Amino acid sequence: MTKEGNSDILARLFSFQDISYDIYQLPVCAVYLFGDDTMLRYAAFARDIESRKVAQRFPRGQPRQIVRAIKYLACYIARTPCALPDFDLSPFTDRERAVYSALVTIPFGATVTYGALAAMSGIPRGARFVGNTMAKNIFPIFIPCHRVILATGAMGNYTGGVDIKESLLRHEGAL
């Protein structure tokens, strides 16, 4: 997700009441988390966020879904299972939500190709669609697009940067 795309999402978030943010430090980078008691609304790597704009627009806090997101990230680092926070997937089409729903079933330490994920999502020959959907993912790590690789076995692109994707896959033992 580009900084321009993040600006659009932050503008959308501003329309909600009671959105807060917090920051969780992973070994590879910090993750900004935006949410309220009902839903996690957005997550982004710090390198993709303009922190000054965030601090000007949103209060820092830990409503229920941010607390759940932080717990999930802590479990992720500890390599222990944990429940996901509730996501706001309303910005996405039914087909995009189908891809994300299939992707969250890929276990820690496993990978899937774009084509296989398309088939799992009920979108035959939809590898390109899956790639575009991964580029729109506003919940990295939670919706683990880092686990999606090319049919050749190469890593492919990653919105947060290939270095972060590689680090996450190494952490999971998938490389």
127-144: pLDDT as tens digits:
999 999 999 999 999 999
Active-site residue numbers?
A: 145
Q: Is residue 70 part of a domain?
A: yes
Quick one: pLDDT band at residue 57, thresholds 50, 70, 90? confident
Residue 10 pLDDT: 66
CATH code assigned at 130: 1.10.10.10
- The model scores a pTM over 0.85: yes
Q: Is residue 105 part of a domain?
A: yes
Quick one: pLDDT band at residue 47, thresholds 50, 70, 90? confident
Find the mean pLDDT for residues 13-34.
Answer: 88
Residue 50 pLDDT: 80
Range of the domain at 37: 3-78
Write the DSSP assignment of 63-113 as a string of letters.
-HHHHHHHHHHHHHHHT---PPPPB--TTS-HHHHHHHHHHTTSPTT--EE
